[in-house]
């Protein structure tokens, strides 16, 4: 790590020092690797938001007083900075939105309104839901056809894009970088394939803008969208770039104040660009923060930042690729800063919870890219994403925590598991070795987690109970529970892919399996959960999973009375 630091032109520590969140006592050991979801804010941005409210809070335009003039000037200066940030020809080509999602909805609504039934929209399988759902909605409304770039296991073959282009292709809307895999398509090659065709090319640059300098003129796209909170700006603010002639021809999406020039009872005249697309009161303090974010990035060596991020990314992929029982979905090549993987012998949510116990923030789930994750053969992945303030020490702490998790969650290899897999779904799980006092005596959350992982090995795999009617509603990870009564006592069988859920299920069954209805009714499970020190460490969804299992078990008992 020392070698890397000495040879890096970008100092992550210096960069990090400009972000007040990391200076707070509770965050000094935080390893923040959830930057693809949202970046942190530098002091410049935070101060600009507060300064607007302190000194110039007023609505813009249509007012002659001093505060309104200051607010209006701020908004239009921010628009000019945005045009420079994307290298647009004019600030008239910049529309402020609440984020990339709103911008894509605006484009889908306005562009599709002029299409004919049977016209085609080309998308890819790695798109964020925000670049899928709006087009799906408009395709259904106007009877349009959606076509997808050919893919292998969800990863598009963009070199075959021209196979999807035909006489009816009207819109091509593609990501500039996958939020789930980090994959950065060759936009120059795509531009070449689209050159000379009568269609509109939309680029979702939500992940791109934080890691690369964007030049929409060089790129050659017709529209470009991004969200400020992805590149150190405020939440609730985004940019839509569009060629001026195209924006001029598009109908507005929303109606209301600020987007009109004149209103009559039967007809209204819309405002000129870009205001005809900005209905209602804008997020003015957010726009002040956005202007500061542009200034902040302008002060940085963007090339050195990108080189630092890429060095981290290469190292993380290399180290994770050497770990057993782990499947890497992302690749370090053409990657904007994301490592995506799934543990083979545990649920991704279990690893995320383990990392949170080490104060390491990652993202787990389908990342609003369900078609891609499903096509990859996974239900969810762990995503770690880097930024300019990510240090080599951050990455080492992350890697060490993953290694520790693998040691704790070694695959179960027992005769009981083999028998269960052979089809004996009601094989009694042996819970005799579980001791509540041992779990309660663990000194910290990491040790308690290890004990829960040990308990989870008591719950064997039961393929026969994994059916829709046995699925427990309310668990973050899928869990199945069945029940039978014998000689006045209640017996349960449970299964889950999540080791944490299986550990919690073992805890529950240790208190109810083989008990009478009156014994179960007398148990104080809230007190048990609190006494074991689990409530403050498990996420709400995890603790809800425990109570979902409990509720289902109690319903079984009540129905059997």
Catalytic residues: 368
User: What ranges in 476-539 are assigned the alpha helix state H?
Assistant: 499-512, 517-522, 525-531
Residue 245: Cβ-neighbour burial (10 angstroms; 0-12, 13-18, 19+): exposed
Closest CA to 392 of 328, 330, 313, 337: 313
Number of H helices, E strands in the chain: 21, 20
Residue 21 C-alpha from the chain's centroid: 20
Closest CA to 37 of 128, 125, 126, 98: 128
Q: 79, 61 in Cβ contact below 8 A?
A: no
Closest C-alpha among 448, 455, 419 to residue 434: 455
Sequence-separated (6 or more) residues with CB below 8 Å from residue 243: 93, 222, 223
Give φ, ψ of 250 to 5 degrees: -80, 140
- 296: Cβ contacts below 8 Å, ≥ 6 apart: 18, 42, 44, 45, 232
**Distance in angstroms (rounded) separating the CA atoms of residues 211 and 334:** 12
Which position has the token pair 């607010």? 71
Buried b (16+ CB within 10 A) or exposed e, 530-545: eebebeebbeeebbeb
Q: Terminus-to-terminus CA distance in the chain, angstroms?
A: 64
Tokens describing residue 11: 């100092």
3-class SS of residue 479: strand
Cross-strand bridge partners of residue 263: 268
Angle at which helix 66-86 crosses helix 284-298, to 10 degrees, equals 40
- Please answer whether residues 174 and 224 qualify as being in contact, where contact means their C-beta atoms are separated by less than 8 angstroms: no
CA distance 164 to 150: 8
Q: Name the nearest CA neighbour of 393 among 28, 24, 26.
A: 28
Q: Which residues pair with 382 in a beta bridge?
A: 341, 364
Order across the sheet with 381-385: list the strands.
326-328, 338-343, 381-385, 363-365
């Amino acid at each position: 790590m020392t070698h890397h630091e000495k040879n890096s032109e970008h100092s992550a520590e210096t960069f990090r020092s400009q972000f007040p969140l990391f200076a707070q006592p509770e965050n000094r050991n935080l390893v923040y690797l959830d930057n693809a979801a949202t970046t942190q804010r530098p002091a410049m941005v935070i101060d600009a938001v507060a300064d607007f409210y302190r000194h110039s809070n007023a609505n813009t335009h249509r007012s002659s007083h001093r505060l309104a003039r200051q607010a209006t000037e701020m908004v239009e200066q921010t628009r000019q900075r945005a045009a420079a940030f994307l290298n647009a020809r004019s600030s008239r080509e910049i529309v402020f939105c609440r984020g990339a999602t709103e911008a894509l909805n605006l484009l889908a609504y306005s562009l599709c309104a002029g299409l004919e039934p049977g016209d085609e929209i080309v998308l890819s399988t790695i798109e964020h839901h925000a670049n899928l759902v709006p087009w799906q909605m408009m395709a259904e409304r106007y009877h349009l056809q959606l076509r997808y770039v050919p893919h292998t296991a969800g990863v598009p073959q963009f070199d075959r894009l021209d196979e999807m282009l035909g006489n009816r292709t009207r819109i091509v809307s593609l990501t500039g970088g996958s939020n789930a895999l980090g994959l950065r398509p060759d936009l120059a090659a795509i531009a070449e394939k689209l050159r000379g065709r009568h269609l509109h090319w939309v680029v979702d640059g939500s992940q791109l803008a934080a890691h690369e300098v964007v030049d929409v003129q060089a790129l050659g796209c017709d529209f470009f969208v991004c969200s400020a909170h992805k590149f150190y700006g405020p939440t609730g603010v985004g940019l839509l770039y569009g060629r001026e002639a195209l924006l001029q021809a598009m109908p507005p999406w929303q109606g209301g104040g600020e987007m009109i020039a004149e209103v009559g009872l039967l007809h209204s005249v819309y405002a000129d660009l870009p205001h005809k697309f900005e209905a209602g009161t804008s997020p003015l303090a957010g726009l002040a923060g956005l202007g500061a974010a542009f200034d902040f990035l302008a002060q940085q060596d963007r090339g050195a930042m990108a080189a630092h991020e890429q060095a981290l990314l290469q190292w993380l992929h290399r180290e994770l690729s050497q770990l057993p029982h782990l499947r890497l979905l992302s690749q370090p090549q053409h990657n904007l800063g994301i490592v995506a993987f799934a543990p083979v012998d545990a649920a991704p949510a279990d690893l995320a919870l383990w990392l949170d116990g080490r104060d390491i923030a990652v993202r787990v789930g389908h990342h609003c890219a369900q078609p891609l994750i499903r096509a990859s053969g996974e239900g969810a992945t762990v995503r770690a994403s880097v930024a300019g303030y990510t240090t080599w020490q951050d990455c080492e702490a992350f890697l060490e925590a993953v290694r520790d998790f693998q040691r704790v969650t070694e695959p179960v290899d027992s005769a009981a598991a083999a028998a269960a897999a052979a089809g004996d779904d009601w094989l009694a799980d042996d819970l005799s070795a579980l001791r509540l006092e041992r779990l309660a005596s663990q000194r910290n959350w990491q040790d308690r987690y290890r004990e829960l992982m040990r308990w989870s090995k008591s719950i064997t795999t039961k393929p026969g109970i994994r059916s829709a009617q046995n699925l427990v509603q309310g668990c973050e990870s899928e869990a199945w529970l069945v029940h039978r009564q014998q000689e006045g006592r209640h017996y349960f069988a449970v299964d889950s892919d999540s080791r944490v859920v299986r550990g919690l299920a073992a805890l529950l069954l240790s208190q109810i399996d083989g008990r009478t209805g009156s014994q179960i009714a007398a148990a104080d499970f809230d007190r048990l959960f609190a006494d074991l020190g689990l409530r403050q460490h498990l996420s709400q969804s995890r603790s809800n999973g425990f109570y979902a299992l409990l509720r289902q078990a109690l319903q079984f008992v009540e129905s059997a009375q």
